[in-house]
Amino acid sequence: MKLSEPFITERMKFRLLNRKDIEVVYRQFSDADMCKYFSEPPCDMEEAKDIIEHYQNPEGKGYLRYGMFDKNTDAFIGTCGYHYLDNDLKQVEIGYDIWKDYWRQGYISEALPILINICFEYLGVDCIYILAHPQNKASIASVSKLGFKECAPCRKADTEPQICMNLLRAEWYKRI
């Protein structure tokens, strides 16, 4: 599998974002409800374009972001991917965001196992971690179900306090 190739799950299509997605990317990263737990301020239309351009051609890079779309309607659900790949420590941070109309419908539980496998198989890391806002209980609960455990910070966060949770390769493969 090439990281840039689209793939599907039970309910979603995953593909790299492109210029046609600028409106939904802007909506996603400028909406007050969505930005409540983001580590970066809301974006403008130019920054939305930059987000899309940044994540093009992920092969061999330390970052990747997929757009997630409804398999039947093509409606934008959110994004997921990785960044902060540290080859020396053999760890990577993952991130995700689900458009608020799709909250609490199990999309993260469907998407993250795919992303976790990509990180362990293609990046060769031994540790995957997330940084979560302490009040983002839904996100913390979602990753806990997949085996993530609270740990010491894996990297310094630039913003307000974050909870770091990690998943080790050995623990993941015991579960599957």
Amino acid 101: pLDDT: 94
Cα distances (angstroms) measured from residue 160 to each of 25, 47, 95, 141, 172? 24, 22, 17, 20, 29
Domains of the chain: 7-175 (3.40.630.30)
**Which of 27-36, 57-66, 104-113 has the least mean pLDDT?**
27-36
Amino acid 40: pLDDT: 67
> 10 pLDDT band (50/70/90 cuts)?
very high
Centre a 10 Å sphere on the Cβ of residue 150 and count the other Cβ atoms it contains: 11
The span from the CA of 75 to the CA of 96, in Å, is: 17
Mean pLDDT of 12-23: 95
Q: What is the pLDDT of residues 88-129, one digit of tens each?
A: 999 999 999 999 999 999 999 999 999 999 999 999 999 999
Give the ranges where 11-83 is alpha helix by DSSP (H): 22-30, 32-35, 45-54
pTM of the full structure: 0.90
> 157 pLDDT band (50/70/90 cuts)?
low
Amino acid 22: pLDDT: 93
| Residues 6 or more apart in contact with residue 22 via CB below 8 angstroms | 45, 48, 49, 52
